[in-house]
Amino acid sequence: MLNIVILAAGKGSRMQSRLPKVMHLLAGEPILFHVIRTAKTLVDEFGGAVTVVTGHGREHIDDWVGTLGCRLAYQDRQLGTGHALTIALENASAEGKTLVLYGDVPLVTPDILRPLLAVSDDHLSVLTAIVKDPAGYGRIIRNGDGDVLSIVEHRDASATERAICEINSGIYAAPTALFQRLLPQVKNTNAQEEYYLTDCVALAVAEGAIVHGITGPEAAVMGINDKAQLAQMEQLVQAERRNALLQAGVTLRDPSSVYIMGEVEVGADVVIEPNVTLIGPLSIGTGCHIGFGCHLTRVEVAEQVVLKPYSVLEDTHVGEAAQIGPFARLRPGTRLAANTHIGNFVETKNAEIGVGSKVNHLSYIGDASVGELSNVGAGTITCNYDGANKHRTVLGDRVFVGSNSSLVAPVTVGDGATLGAGSVITRDVEPDALAVSRAPQKSIPSYQRPKKAKE
């Protein structure tokens, strides 16, 4: 039985923000979400539950944490990390182990945590790291044999202690009963007048328990306390994700300019040009070409699709071998079948475009469906909104829409119909008919233009 407690009640004053620190986004997801994902992987493996301690700004956190299947503990006043864990363990069973994670230390992985859990049952283990710049972190004090004796917070440390480069990650594992025994002994006699969870280490040693300091990689134990650290960590995560894509056979022309948020799946032989942003969940099939400056949010792109530069796609499905852009905007609910073409300055929304159909220039296609092999001419607009309600436009297969036509919805155009250029279509058109609704052309021979009046 594994009891995982994530501490996330602090304000994070150093972020200078109204949003609680752990809700700021790292690679497109709240900092806290990265920690919860790791916790859930371990709970799936060992059994048990995840409890998140919230307090400051809980109205921004609690509902969302609930939907992720975690329990909540409420820390009304943030009296320190020791106080936060006390609250989380108040009603916990004394059986099994407790693993403490910090909501602001997001890069730790299940692989790094497993050795802490492997430590024998009556010991406490703490995850540490050797870092270049230990300022701000608690320092790990070991004896000559390398056993951990205590943790000293930066603010409370002497000059010699501050010179120690091994820091506390804030991540510990111990039998729940051991924490429950030690926590009531923690005092708040320190620079911040807080109940420090770190004091459990010296208390455990005093009780004769062994404390194992397990050293992990520096990046994995980095905490986020201000916007500079958040930015630095974003760069680390992005570098890792770009590298994962490169290893999977994706070509990134300029890796440093590609941003990857959330869960992203990209097939082999995909070429991604510079300045592309991918916001997941998103998938791109093999052999696609994602042009310069494209911005993709929650899309499903099949194989061999070409996205020309500066196309913006959101909540959209793109079928095989479609060609899109440059400068296309595909809004939520767009579903493009295979071999479709969407050209420059075309906006679609809640629109289905059938196999092989083309909307190549300067159009708005909203709340519409277009059948197969139809051609929608330049400047076509679906007038879907009557000022109060939205209506649908339905075009059949092999329809030809002449340039600069308006389709006033609700309206249906049958298979094989042709609409003359410049028409305003307000009534349904039967299959194979030609519908034209513009004034017949007149010619006035030898026409004299008006002349400017003399002064």
Shorter beta-carbon distance to ligand UD1: residue 105 or 401:
105
Q: Is 105 exposed, middle or buried (0-12, 13-18, 19+ CB in 10 A)?
A: buried
Residue 6 CA to residue 103 CA, distance in Å, equals 6
* Cβ 223 to Mg ion shortest distance, Å: 4
For residues 234 and 237, give the distance between their C-alpha atoms in angstroms, rounded to a whole number: 5
**What does 183 interact with, of Mg ion, ligand UD1, none (CB < 5 to 8 A by kind)?**
none
84's contact among Mg ion, ligand UD1, none, with CB below 5 to 8 A by partner kind, is ligand UD1
Q: Report the candidate in 366, 278, 290 with the shortest Cα–Cα distance to residue 322.
A: 290
* Contact mark string toward Mg ion, 75..114, x via CB under 5 A: -----------------------------x----------
- Which has the closest alpha carbon to 138: 80, 185, 183, 52? 80
Identify which of residues 27 and 105 has a Cβ nearer to Mg ion in the complex.
105
Q: Distance (Å, rounded) from C-alpha 356 to C-alpha 314?
A: 21
CA-nearest of 136, 140, 196, 144 to 164 is 140
CB closer to Mg ion out of 218 and 265: 218
Q: How far is the CB of 161 from ligand UD1 (least distance, A)?
A: 12
8 Å CB contact between 149 and 161? no
DSSP 390: B
Q: How far is the CB of 177 from Mg ion (least distance, A)?
A: 27
**Between 83 and 97, whose beta carbon lies closer to ligand UD1?**
83
**Sequence letter at residue 148:** V
Contact partner, 89, from Mg ion, ligand UD1, none, Cβ < 5-8 Å per class: none
The site that binds Mg ion (CB under 5 A) totals a number of residues, namely 3
CB closest to ligand UD1, residue no: 138
d(CA 180, CA 171): 17
Taking the complex as a whole, how short is the minimal distance between the CB of residue 111 and ligand UD1, in angstroms?
19
3-state secondary structure of 384: coil
Q: How far apart are alpha carbons 396 and 29 in whole angstroms?
A: 41
Q: Which does residue 97 bind out of Mg ion, ligand UD1, none, counting CB within 5 to 8 angstroms by kind?
A: none
Smallest distance, Å, CB 227 to Mg ion? 14
Contact 291, 327 (CB under 8 A): no
223 forms part of the interface with Mg ion (CB under 5 A): yes
Number of other CB atoms surrounding residue 234 within 10 Å = 17
Q: Which is nearer to ligand UD1, 151 or 299 (CB)?
A: 151
Q: How is residue 19 written in tokens?
A: 């949003």
Q: Is 352 in the site for Mg ion (CB under 5 A)?
A: no
Enumerate binding residues for ligand UD1 (CB under 6 A).
7-10, 53, 75, 78-81, 83-84, 102-105, 137-138, 151, 153, 167-170, 196-198, 223, 225
Beta bridge partner(s), residue 6: 52, 101
Look at residue 111 and give its three-state secondary structure: helix
Q: Is 34 a catalytic residue?
A: no
119 interacts with, out of Mg ion, ligand UD1, none, CB within 5 to 8 A per kind:
none
Marked catalytic residue, from 24, 123, 154, 361? 361
Rank residues 57 and 175 by Cβ distance to ligand UD1 and give the closer one.
57
The residue assigned the tokens 């007048």 is: 193
For the bound state, the minimum distance from the C-beta of residue 143 to ligand UD1, rounded and expressed in Å, comes to 19
Check: CB of residue 92 under 8 Å from CB of residue 71: no
Residues that bind Mg ion (CB under 5 A): 104, 223, 225
Catalytic residues: 361
